[in-house]
Amino acid sequence: MRYLLLLVTLICISCGSDKKNETTPEEASTTTYYLIRHAEKDRTAGDDPVLTAKGKQRADFWATHFKEIPLDAVYSTDYVRTKQTAAPTAERKNLPVKMYDPKNLYSPDFQEKTKGKTVLVVGHSNTTPAFVNSILGEHTYPQISDTENALRYKVVVPEAGETIVTIEKFEMQ
């Protein structure tokens, strides 16, 4: 009798579906954006400065932070500091750093290229919140402080329904 009960239990378990690994159509068409500001820059170095030693540490910190988050693309503005911030994450993910135009945020072309994907966007104190505002279609988030390098905006855009924005601060240890 014990073996019969065990056999029936095993058959029931093997016939059940494993929903954990299935992707619903809603999930497949959900786009997730992670937006961060570039790491600490050398403030003595002109218009297109490199990262400081602390900035390079933060860029590596972000790469570790995004280690367990699957990314389909990494975008940066075409400035040394943003590319240096994006590079460690892109390298660990074996992805190229793609450029976006900070004067044309969330363009139809960008939306099409990123639809249904999970994307990291590295920007600036003014473009990062402006990018979030462009996604939302309203001015909700103000420019961030020029000394703030630890914020991460997460914007989840479902195919249908409400876009969700979360902002978290991640300090280096």
Report the mean per-residue pLDDT for the chain: 88
Residue 20 pLDDT class (50, 70, 90 cuts): very low
- What are the angstrom distances between the C-alpha of 16 and each of 9, 20, 24, 87, 136? 11, 12, 17, 43, 40
Q: What are the φ/ψ torsions at residue 107 (nearest 5 degrees)?
A: -65, 160
- Least confident stretch, 1-10, 53-62, 67-76, 100-109: 1-10
Judge whether 17 lies within some domain: no
How are strands ordered across the β-sheet holding 164-169?
97-99, 73-76, 118-123, 31-37, 151-157, 164-169
Q: What is the pLDDT of residues 143-162, one digit of tens each?
A: 999 999 999 999 999 999 99
Q: Could you give the number of structural domains in the chain? A: 1
- Is the pTM higher than 0.75? The answer reads yes
Which pLDDT score, from 0 to 100, does residue 2 have? 45
Domain of 69: which CATH number? 3.40.50.1240
- What are the angstrom distances between the C-alpha of 11 and each of 3, 4, 17? 12, 11, 12
Which pLDDT score, from 0 to 100, does residue 71 have? 99
Judge whether 20 lies within some domain: no
Judge whether 159 lies within some domain: yes
Asked if residues 171 and 62 have their Cβ atoms less than 8 Å apart, the reply is no
Domain hosting residue 106, numbered range: 28-169
Judge whether 151 lies within some domain: yes
Judge whether 140 lies within some domain: yes
Residue 88 has pLDDT above 50, yes or no: yes
Judge whether 6 lies within some domain: no
From start to end of the chain, where are the E strands? 31-37, 73-76, 97-99, 118-123, 151-157, 164-169
Judge whether 107 lies within some domain: yes
Asked if residues 50 and 92 have their Cβ atoms less than 8 Å apart, the reply is no
What is the b/e burial string over 10-25, where b = at least 16 CB atoms within 10 angstroms of the residue's CB? eeeeeeeeeeeeeeee
More confident residue, 37 or 17: 37
Q: What is the pLDDT of residues 90-144, one digit of tens each?
A: 999 999 999 999 999 999 999 999 999 999 999 999 999 999 999 999 999 999 9
Q: Which 8-state DSSP code applies to residue 47?
A: S
Instruction: Dig out the tokens for 128 from the structure.
Output: 């990062």
Judge whether 157 lies within some domain: yes
